[in-house]
Amino acid sequence: MKVLIDTNVILDVLCKRQDFFEASSKVMKYCEVNSLNGVISALSIPNIVYIMRKELDAEKTKDVIEKLQLIFTVADLKADDIKKALSLDFVDFEDALQSVCASRIKADYIVTRNIRDFKNSKVSAIKPSELLERI
């Protein structure tokens, strides 16, 4: 099963967000051991760095990014993705880009906590806990 992992799921683990850590970390573990084909959008990398910049120094940030690249395939952001995302009926442009990426890579699901943000996505969005129930 191929899944696009939304940025917030990764941040749940990196920031050890209490209500979300357990399910998100299990999903990441399944990706790490190749039980799931986990993909993140290249867009997620700078977002993670931006959010984590106050918590990690440059060396630790580099280490995190290198580890993420071992766990996940990183899907490139393409110029055509931007055009397609602009044409979608999404409130948040980043979510539209994630949706376009998921569609382009033929993901089975977008794994996110923000299901409602992906209501107009061609690829179904599910929560980490819901994905765990399906595998």
What are the pLDDT digits (tens) for 28-87?
A: 999 999 999 999 999 999 999 999 888 888 899 999 999 999 999 999 999 999 999 999
Domain boundaries defined on the chain: 2-134
Predicted structure pTM score: 0.93
- pLDDT reported for residue 58: 86
> What fold, for 2-134?
Rossmann fold (3.40.50)
The gap from C-alpha 121 to its chain's centroid, in whole angstroms, comes to 14
Contact 38/73 with Cβ under 8 angstroms? yes
pLDDT of res. 101 = 97
**Does residue 112 surpass a pLDDT of 90?**
yes
